[in-house]
Chains A and B, each alone.
Chain A
Amino acid sequence: MALRTEELMLNMGPQHPSTHGVLRMVVTLDGENVVDVQPDIGYLHSSVEKMMENRTYLQNIALVDRGMDYLSAMANEEVWVLACERLGKIEVPERARYIRTIMLELQRISSHLIWLGTFGIDLGAFTAFLWAMRERERIMDLFESATGGRLHHVYFRIGGVFEDLPEGWTDRCEEFCDYFLDRLPEYDELLTGNPIFLARTQGVGVLPLDTAIAMGASGPVARASGLAYDVRKAHPYEVYERVEFDIPVRSEGDCYARYLVRLEEMRQSVRIIRQCLERLPAGEIRSKVAVTLRLPKGEVYARTESPRGDLGIYLVSDGADRPYRVKIRAPAFSNLYALTEMMRGWKVADVIAILGSIDIVLSDVDR
């Protein structure tokens, strides 16, 4: 007699430690095999786009810090001020552009470190979390001394940055770069060659390249699937066209490839920071921009490479002192959509590994 089997619906979240925030997943299981996954989002929706319509261009800098991806506030500020500067044709002094690039890359390292730590926890490697937090703390200190804020900086301004770097900051930043490059091989020892880590990640959750593009995946997720695309190279902003760096691309498309891509990106970020520190020019840090800025009527799409991928803002201005409509193109939103494709056919234990590998931040997904 054949064994009678039934599919099982398993609800994960929204309160679940391994979902990295308030994500609910409805997993359909056949025994231990995942048949289907339906992510349910919106638990952290704060309608940032609507709130932005009611605030001036300057006030919105503080809003994008909090309302969008809270682990990479600098990247959010960057895309917002970039959109405003492009539409208003506002010049940014050289020094400010270098400072911004340094901050963005520090933010990328800090965001990737959080990801590395939580990904380690997902797979049972707690040490990685403690080590990643230790390194991240140094970046937080650098941010705090320059901007006054650790997570939400409100540091970028339309036309520059808020304040110049404090005395000795560049030396401390240089010190951090040396320190961090020393620490990176430790992660290799801890995770890259770890047989358990390899067994949990290699070949797991493969996302083919054409599916990745069709689903709108971007950032490290798409680059791990073989898409050699990075906004910093394709459409350089700030001073990215003047510094040398490589875009790590892997073709495997599995969790391990996504891990390797992010690890290498941190190395490249240090490279960028060092070149910027070397060439950091003296001079003005902010051009004169009215507090009640009125942007001319028009529309612009600005895109940047946030730690999570292709982060864009479509800004519609009707000539008033606040935006008419802002559309935030959040990278984690599209990356999360590709989740179903990645998980189908894997075991229930892999669900956690695959979800961890795409690095979502729910405030970025839900906005």
Chain B
Amino acid sequence: MSWALAEKLKAAFPDVELFPRAGTEPAGTRDQGPGTGSGEQVTAAPESTPAAPRRPAHEVPPQYLTPGVYVPREKLLPVCTTLAGDPEFGLTYLSFVSAVDWPDRNELEVLYHLYSHQTRQELALKVRIPRDDAHIPSVSGVWDGANWHEREAYDLLGITFDGHPNLRRIMMTDDWVGHPLRKDYVYQDPPWLVEVAKERQKDAEGLGLGERV
């Protein structure tokens, strides 16, 4: 896959930052993911330039095999409008919208994957937003198909998409507590289920069955 689109975007919008490429050092410490507890060697040897010595797994910079860029939150809409509307990019097809939760950095990475059927190029966009201020402009006005994907990201990761026409839970029930795909999610019974369980308990006791286990 070619990084040409990502570089072209960088030229048009100097604010965006390319994903670290394979073989290059990460730009800063923030690119070092968490999970540094393991000092073991990875089973499959990561690709590196022949000159680079083999290092422990936690020091190997992450590889991004899909070309992509980091976009600042306030630049997301102009960038997306250009990518979809400008024939030079022609990224008219949105594969998905999702997010990755990094609690150690107090960060959510909202992820967009774009594709062009004409040039067969792909581009990933990532927007870093703080976990406790998780809102981002909706791109459903740019790609209609983003509608459900953003609802899913809202439902499972708790990201508010500003300007979304119908931001409701899509997978979980409307009264669900919490956002399951966040790393610190702990299951809680929704209030109606607590009520149902209490009723059942009363029924069971009325029948002389004792406490249900």
> A residues engaging B (CB < 8 A)?
41-42, 45, 47, 49-50, 86-90, 211, 213-217, 227, 229, 234-235, 289-290, 292-301, 303, 310, 312, 314, 316, 318-320, 324-325, 327, 329, 333-334, 337, 366
Contacts and interface: CB of A to CB of B under 8 A. Distances in A.
A214 B144 contact: yes
A227 B42 CA distance: 42
B36 to A, nearest CB: 8
**Of B43, B63, B180, most A-chain CB atoms within 10 Å:** B43
B192 to A, nearest CB: 16
Contacts of B33: 297, 318-319, 324
Contacts of B64: 298-299
A293 B40 CA distance: 12
Interface stretch (B6-14, B95-103, B195-203, B204-212): B95-103
B104 to A, nearest CB: 10
A235 B119 CA distance: 12
Contacts, number: 142
29 contacts: A42-B169, A45-B172, A50-B181, A86-B65, A87-B65, A89-B45, A213-B92, A213-B93, A214-B143, A214-B144, A216-B94, A217-B145, A289-B43, A296-B42, A296-B44, A298-B64, A301-B65, A301-B95, A301-B113, A312-B96, A316-B100, A319-B33, A319-B35, A319-B60, A320-B35, A325-B100, A325-B181, A333-B148, A337-B148
Interface in B131-181: 143-145, 147-149, 156, 169-173, 180-181
A215 B144 contact: yes
Contacts of A310: 95
A299 B180 CA distance: 21
Given A290-B43, A293-B43, A324-B100, A216 B145 contact: yes
A41 B171 contact: yes
Contacts of A293: 43-44
* B interface residue count range (under 10 / 10 to 19 / 20 to 34 / 35 or more): 35 or more
- 9 closest A-B pairs (Cβ-Cβ)? A216-B145, A298-B63, A318-B35, A88-B44, A296-B46, A297-B62, A300-B65, A45-B171, A42-B171
